[in-house]
Amino acid sequence: MLKIGDQVPAGTLQEFVDVEGGACSIGPNAVDVAAATAGKTIAVFALPGAFTPTCSAQHVPGYIAQAAALKAAGVDEVWCVSVNDVFVMGAWGRDLAAAGKVRMMADGSADFTKATGLTLDLATRGMGLRSQRYSMLLVNGQVKTLNIEAAGKFEVSDANTMLAQAAAL
């Protein structure tokens, strides 16, 4: 399992982009995790699924609300990672008005999540393999903080905890 001091696993996430710009075209875009985290401070939070109750009502909205404060604390980007397809993550981001604040990153086949060792088996609930709820602060691709939630909890991976950790670096 991923731990503080580790390099973030190599891999590719997918992001749906609504507005063309920079190196991103409209539609699904591959994001190489190692390249995208190099030389940056990234706040990553992962959750079990798009459009699920806690994720939609608290987890993502908290990071959207704290996006400016996180940037002021030295965070270059905020990423939301979930084992969902890129179209679902894009729709969820539009629904929550995340554009420009939180990058909605799809891990459709759970390859990145498996590489972190932070999987969650929700097959008995009809959701298959998902990600545990957690957050981490990456500096140049290295894990500086890692907050893993206990099963069914939302206490340590929230935006306020991440903000305090980013401000302390």
Cα 154 to chain centroid, rounded? 15
- The residue annotated as part of the active site, out of 8, 36, 55, 105, is 55
Phi and psi torsions of 31, nearest 5°:
-120, 110
Decide if 80 is catalytic. no
- β-partners of residue 148 are 134
Are residues 23 and 124 in contact, defined by beta-carbon separation less than 8 angstroms? no
Distance in angstroms (rounded) separating the CA atoms of residues 139 and 24: 23
Distance in angstroms (rounded) separating the CA atoms of residues 159 and 104: 15
The 8-class DSSP code of residue 9 comes to P
Task: Say whether 124 sits in a helix, a strand or coil.
Answer: helix
Catalytic residues: 55
